[in-house]
Amino acid sequence: MLKTLSGVVVLVSLMLGCGVEDAPRAIERRIINGKTCLGDEMPSSLAILIDAKIELGALGSFPIRAVLCTGTLIAPDVVLTAAHCAFPDLLTGGIGKITGARYYISFTPDLVALASADPTQKLPDLPADAVEVGVTLPHPKFDPKG
């Protein structure tokens, strides 16, 4: 499906707060291009992957390639995800800095190799269907500092 994209994949973040009264209901059927289809025909749930370097001060730095978040395809080239997913430094718990981050999306259902990667070993390859994210648009009201 994504191999037919002619443009840039855009990662859009969404900020949700507690106490949302009108939560969206589950959609029983998908309509894509005017046609009802099943989830396995046109999947919309995906993984957001990161390929970067983590710098830990005196401990040094090392490359990482991991599952960062999940997202939902809301247009052929737009992914919606949680606001914190656009801020990879939140991964370090405040003890490090992420540099050179490149994001990818993948519909591959089994990403155990990336989820359990050992940074002291060779990094696992990205899935064959991985597509690089061209633009990230963090929610303007999200404050990663709290």
Break the chain into its structural domains and give their ranges. 48-113
**pLDDT score of 62:** 86
Residue 45 is which amino acid? S
Residue 109 token pair: 């259902």
Kindly report the pTM of this predicted structure: 0.72
Bridge pairing between strands 9-14 and 78-82 = parallel
**pLDDT score of 28:** 52
**pLDDT score of 100:** 93
Query: Where do the H-state alpha helices sit in the chain?
Result: 112-115
**Rounded to an integer, what distance in angstroms lies between the CA atom of residue 88 and that of residue 121?**
22
Cα 2-134-113 angle, rounded to 5 deg? 65
**pLDDT score of 16:** 47
**pLDDT score of 1:** 40
- pLDDT per residue rounded down to tens, the chain (146 residues): 443 333 455 666 655 444 444 545 555 555 656 667 665 666 678 999 999 998 988 888 888 898 999 998 888 888 999 988 888 888 777 788 999 999 999 999 888 888 776 766 788 899 999 999 999 988 888 888 87
**pLDDT score of 19:** 40
**pLDDT score of 90:** 84
